[in-house]
Structure 1
Amino acid sequence: MSHLDQYLHNGELGSVLLIDKPVGLTSFDVIYRLRRWHGVVKAGHAGTLDPLASGLLIICMGKETKNLHRFSNLDKEYVGTMELGIQTPSFDMETEVSERMDVSGVTIDGLKSIFERFVGRQLQMPPMYSAVKHKGKPLYKYARRGKILERKPREIEIRELVLTGFAPPKVEFKVLCSKGTYIRSLANDIGAALGCGAALTALRRTRIGAYTVENAVTLEQLEATKKANEPRSEEANDYRIPA
């Protein structure tokens, strides 16, 4: 049994892993694979990533699941790309483009000015395509049936919002925000403020608090570790957080 297997099987100890989630998987898919590969029964994640997003996912296992809030409440950092001139029901590319608009009037100075307006505390409306519950059901289940429900805006804080690239209609950015912030909604709101619409086309979470994706392990590495069945103590320490 490898060092990693021994660690994951030690339910008395509990553990925390930094995972670099790939595009295409849900956050629960990652937990399911950990359970299947290593026999982990109790596990949870500290902050959902959409299937179309990649990057840092903090997984708590065993006794450490009681400390999920310790990580969930931390600020998150993302890098992303939005496309101006389009709108989708989900605010990203999970759903088809529903409207196209002209972006010829958007300038880099105008974009920077709009970005500045979105820094600070604000109320943000959660998207219909989200896991926010309404009468016990996630909103996305209503959205997939074509229903649009009234939602309550939530207080969030955008601590930093930096324009890192502009090649119309593509806009690249970096954002540091509080928990509960929907970057899809941020992109949609920026598009509305510009008057041309926008949808998120790529998103990667790079940091949660002081924990960075550079110190995370991929699912491929985890699977290879299990298959190789070799001691990998040094490598495991790179993406484990001490309990």
Structure 2
Amino acid sequence: MAGGIQEISSDRVATELADAIHAHRIAPGTKLNEDEVGTIFGVSRTVARAALQSLAHMRLVDRRPNRGAYVAHPGPTEAIEVLEARALLEASTARAAALRMSDADAGALRALIAEEHAAEAEGNHGRGVYLCGQFHLEIARISGKETLRELLEQLVARSSLIMAIYGRGSTAGCVNAPHHRLVDALAAGDADRAEWLMVEHLQTLISSLDLDRRTRPLSLKEALVP
């Protein structure tokens, strides 16, 4: 992951940790010790601390006084609120994207769906959830609503944690009919249907959550070192 003579940057460490969190290789609740992060990535404690601060700003990490940093573990109320907020924002991005959609955009979305299917077929649900988030962010990019896209980046990241805790197997991803129907509506320029499908899709994700489910936190070494 890390190595070489020149120390890698805190941004790169943060990115690699975020990718591992999104892909569910690091479980919610996992302790992120600065010294251990430094050892695994081959960086100083100062760089590790800066990386964890960056993740805390993204709401992927909780810093607890006198206890250190942990991968965030959203509670049931927060889980519902995050997805409800996404439904409000993504109704707008879906409508706008339908009015701007190109053949290349539709192709990019269909390629992401194919990757989602492949990940789920391999049993890699974490990768499927990550790709689901990328699908939604790509629609936001197509919409041209940059401020909403930036807001959604954090909400999508938090959704990955939520699905890791409360998702039900393959329902934690979005690999079935909802994404296909969304792309069809977007490609047809049907803004009303695209907006409705997006809201329905996210409301279905809310109703699929198992809010009594819990995950077992791993050590960072267990999560990242083969």
TM-score range normalised by the length of the shorter chain? under 0.3
TM-score of the aligned structures, taking structure 2 as reference length: 0.26
Give the structure with higher Rg (CA).
1
TM-score of the aligned structures, taking structure 1 as reference length: 0.24
Bigger helix share: 2
